[in-house]
């Protein structure tokens, strides 16, 4: 028996996950402007009312998508920090790697489509700022040095360059920037 809106309502977490996954795929293929209530609901196999049950508006869906991606980034960064043998700069190395090559956050992920919206959308900008402030507070002792802040800002600049130039894969020049930024995290002020 095929799953329909009636039988799927008994699995709210699966429906919510499907909505977020479909919204991310649409954002990646068509940009955030392609993330419409109708498109996401149809792609997830639910009614628009089903979508509104989980997300009260299109803005709530976009914010949910953004929060979900930040949670994925958190998990990726936490795993990298845990595997890092050198505490000093471990968050910054994990952040740079996440920006350049991460599965949740890297250049060729749904994050790319949302990243430009952060600049103009106050609620997404606040989510990003809150996330970054919490991370910096959490890693103050290992990553509070000004030279590590410069490395993170340079990674953000590389990200912006990648997004605004319409690249589809990391060039040798960007790979070299990545390697230099990582090397900088091992140096002391």
The tens digit of pLDDT for each residue in 39-93 reads: 999 999 999 999 999 999 999 999 999 999 899 899 999 999 999 999 999 999 9
Can you give the pLDDT at residue 110? Answer: 67
What's the mean pLDDT in 141-158? 95
Report whether pLDDT(7) > 60: no
What's the mean pLDDT in 149-168? 87
In our burial notation (b when 16+ CB lie closer than 10 A, e otherwise), range 102-132 reads: bebbbbebbbbbbbebbeebeebeebbeebe
Which two three-digit tokens encode residue 133? 């402030």
Report whether pLDDT(149) > 90: yes
């Amino acid at each position: 028996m095929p799953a329909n809106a009636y039988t799927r309502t008994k699995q709210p977490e699966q429906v919510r996950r499907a909505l977020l996954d479909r919204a991310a795929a649409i954002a990646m293929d068509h940009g955030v402007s392609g993330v419409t209530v109708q498109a996401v609901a149809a792609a997830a196999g639910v009614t628009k009312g089903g979508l509104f049950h989980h997300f009260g508006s299109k803005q709530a869906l976009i914010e949910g998508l953004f929060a979900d991606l930040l949670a994925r980034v958190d998990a990726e960064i936490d795993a990298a920090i845990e595997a890092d043998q050198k505490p000093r700069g471990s968050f910054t190395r994990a952040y740079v790697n996440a920006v350049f090559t991460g599965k949740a956050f890297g250049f060729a992920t749904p994050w790319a489509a949302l990243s430009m919206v952060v600049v103009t959308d106050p609620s997404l900008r606040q989510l990003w700022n809150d996330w970054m402030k919490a991370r910096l507070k959490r890693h103050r002792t290992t990553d509070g040095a000004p030279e590590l802040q410069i490395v993170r800002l340079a990674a953000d600049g590389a990200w912006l360059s990648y997004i605004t130039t319409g690249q589809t894969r990391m060039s040798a020049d960007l790979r070299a920037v990545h390697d230099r930024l990582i090397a900088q995290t091992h140096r002391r002020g």
